[in-house]
Amino acid sequence: MWPINIPLVTAGGHHLWSLWVTAELRQPSFHQQVRVLCWCKATIVPAPIPTGIKYRTEGQGMYRKNPEATVFQVFRSSRGFTLIELLVVIAIIGILAAIAIPSYQDYARKTQRSTAMIGLSEISNLETAFYASNLRFTTTLANLPYPITAPPTNSANDYYYTFTVTNLSSSGYTINGSKSSGISDPSCTPMTLTSTGTQGPTTTCWSR
């Protein structure tokens, strides 16, 4: 069918027509009507456009087969994503993930180290209090009035760390915070604190 409107513009024996044509797409069994504007040779009285005019798809546009008409605007139908567009989106997501995931892991490690620092400092204070009453230090954490942050056991799990007391002597000790869960942190495991206040394995691990 070729429903034709009255010419929009007339110049030089040509008329600007607004009409619907049937577009033959790449699939032989599929046709689609598209709105086109074309210059056609005709009289002032509207006449049917020759039925031999057919349009075919090339890439993303519509092109005529009949040289009698010149198409200069096509109202395209909506289309989906192309493979290239999908790959671009996937690449962008990959780049964002490559930046965001390491940043999150670094933040999580620092948060977990803060937990270890609190536990080590609390145990050190309790060892000092225990020494004041008993004139000795202890490796048994159950002997300490243990804080809420870690249960009173010899190998106390304080969230992401397990605390133990080693290198015990009459004058000192070393408290160790070994990683037990959470994100791995090999460069700062175990975290240590001695009776003299020496922080390990490095002071960088204790920086917030």
Is 1 a domain residue? no
Q: Does residue 103 sit in the same domain as residue 180?
A: yes
- Is pLDDT of 11 > 50? no
Residues 37 and 110 in one domain: no
Please give the Cα distance from 162 to 99 (Å, whole number). 31
Q: Are residues 53 and 112 in the same domain?
A: no
pLDDT tens digits for range 138-179: 888 878 876 545 444 444 444 678 888 888 887 889 999 888
207: pLDDT strictly greater than 60: yes
Residue 126 covered by a domain: yes
Q: Is residue 26 part of a domain?
A: yes
Task: Tell me the average pLDDT of the chain.
Answer: 69
4 located within any domain: no
Rounded Cα distance, 101 and 104, in Å: 5
* Selection from 10-24, 27-41, 117-131 with the highest mean pLDDT: 117-131
The amino acid that residue 71 corresponds to is: V
CATH number of the CATH domain containing 195: 3.30.700
DSSP letter string, 48-89: PPPTT--EEEETTEEEES-TT-EEEEEEPPP----HHHHHHH
Report the pLDDT value the prediction gives residue 3, as an integer from 0 to 100. 44
Among 12-16, 44-48, 122-126, 139-143, the range of highest mean pLDDT: 122-126
Q: What is the pTM of this model?
A: 0.51
135 is a domain residue: yes
Q: Which of these three, 35, 54, 75, is where a domain ends?
A: 75
Same domain, 93 and 67: no
CA dist 141 and 139 (Å) reads: 6
Confidence of residue 193 (pLDDT cuts 50, 70, 90): very high
Residues 97 and 19 in one domain: no
Q: In terms of domains, do 55 and 129 share one?
A: no
Q: Are residues 113 and 63 in the same domain?
A: no
Alpha helix stretches (DSSP H) within the chain: 83-134
* Boundary residue ending a domain (29, 48, 75): 75
Same domain assignment for residues 87 and 182:
yes
90 and 180 share one domain: yes
Residue 2: inside a domain? no
In a domain, 60, yes or no: yes
Do 88 and 173 belong to one domain?
A: yes
pLDDT at 99 over 50: yes
The set of residues, in sequence order, having a beta carbon less than 8 Å from that of 122 and lying 6+ positions away, is: 147, 149, 150
Task: For residues 205 and 193, give the distance between their C-alpha atoms in angstroms, rounded to a whole number.
Answer: 12
Work out how many domains the chain is built from and give that number: 2
Q: Is there a single domain that holds both residue 87 and residue 70?
A: no
Q: Does the pLDDT at position 7 exceed 80?
A: no
Of all residues in the chain, what percent carry a pLDDT higher than 70? 55
17/180: higher pLDDT: 180
| Higher pLDDT, residue 13 or 140 | 140
Domain containing residue 65: 10-75
- Confidence check: pLDDT of 47 > 60: no
Encode pLDDT of 68-97 as tens digits: 444 444 444 456 778 898 999 999 999 999
Residue 64 in any domain: the answer is yes
Whether 166 and 89 map to the same domain: the answer is yes
Q: Which of 75, 97, 118 is the last residue of a domain?
A: 75
